[in-house]
Amino acid sequence: MAKPKLFEPITIGKTTLANRIVIAPMCQYSAENGEMNDWHLIHLGQLAMSGAALLTIEATAVKPEGRITYGDVGLYDDATEAAMKRVLDGIRRWSDMPISVQLAHAGRKASCEVPWKGGGQLPPNHANGWQTEAPSAVGFLESDNDPIALDETGLARIRDAFADAARRSDRLGLNAIQIHAAHGYLLHEFLSPISNRRDDKYGGSLENRMRFPLEVFHAVRAAFSADKPVTVRVSGTDWVDGGWDGEQTVAFAKALEASGCSAIHISSGGVSTEQKIPVGPNYQVPLARLVKQAVSMPVVAVGLITEAEQAEAIVSTGDADMIAVARAVLYDPHWPWHVAATLGGQVKAPPQYLRSQPRQYSDLFLTE
């Protein structure tokens, strides 16, 4: 059996990954004051033994007010850095899987209750709420408290916070950074004309709407080790007429690549309740394909990728260079093992688990 494309190595910037499977960032809403705890050690620890090529830490706020909920992870002070270090030290004792962090600011979609308690936005006077910030003073929902429109001082504060979080990421020895510019959070809010109503140099034209996200990228790239990749996650479309779309995504991807971006991860939606998403297997893959045709940096596809043959087809046909999994790997933390077994690939497994290799897959686990 020919070696599947999904299990061939790939180089991102100057980093070579063992295969084409990325574990996407998945918020756990279980931090305390932005600080990781034993839940994150358990959650990330099991995924670090999954056989994937790269593990991405959930959306990590660069400022306390940039958290989606009061349970979000942060990387904005010494306490949050120390808490993350404890988790990373625990994982690295047993796994050498490369680890990335997704740096984020939730913008107008911040200050929310955790999902299993309803997920609605909490007002600034609530014990677990705060005043939100955004490109424009327009809330995500009509019932939300209106955000404050950021002035240039506020923009500089957030840009500097991203850079500071990048320096902390470097100190922690993280292997890569992903900048979150998708799903209706702050940087996506600048990109989309739905949420960006500004009339200054940060609003209006596509060039102006891309300006602040690109400034953040440049700040992060300058603050992180030059030999480590900085990537971006973007929504390929808002799924709303007149909103952000594939053509604008291509323009943004080209600008990122010219600025030194190492890879781009194509998701979609999140900025408007008017979105009409044709949810189904591979529903976002055409967006990844569109970007891949326009740039040379690696492109990552995501969205209801659950089956081995499906994942292999995405990379073997050239629709994307890698695939990312989230819910599928929460449901099955050894999803990459099972995909490798089906396709005839090989994955790295902890030595403590080698005896679990099924007889019919005698070459499944790499022993070095």
Q: Assess whether 185 carries a catalytic annotation.
A: yes
- What is the DSSP secondary-structure string of 297-312? S-EEEESS--SHHHHH
Q: Which of 29, 70, 76, 185 is catalytic?
A: 185
Structural contact between residues 299 and 320, judged by C-beta atoms closer than 8 angstroms = yes
- CA 42 vs. chain centroid, Å, equals 20
How far, in Å, are 46, 95, 145, 310, 344 from residue 85 at the CA level? 17, 15, 35, 36, 36
Q: In this structure, what are the phi and psi dihedrals at residue 234, rounded to the nearest 5 degrees? A: -135, 150
Going through the chain in order, the beta strands assigned E by DSSP cover 10-12, 15-17, 21-23, 54-61, 73-74, 99-104, 133-134, 148-149, 176-181, 230-235, 264-267, 299-302, 322-325, 347-348, 365-366
**Strand pairing report for 10-12 and 15-17:** antiparallel
Please identify every residue annotated as catalytic. Answer: 185
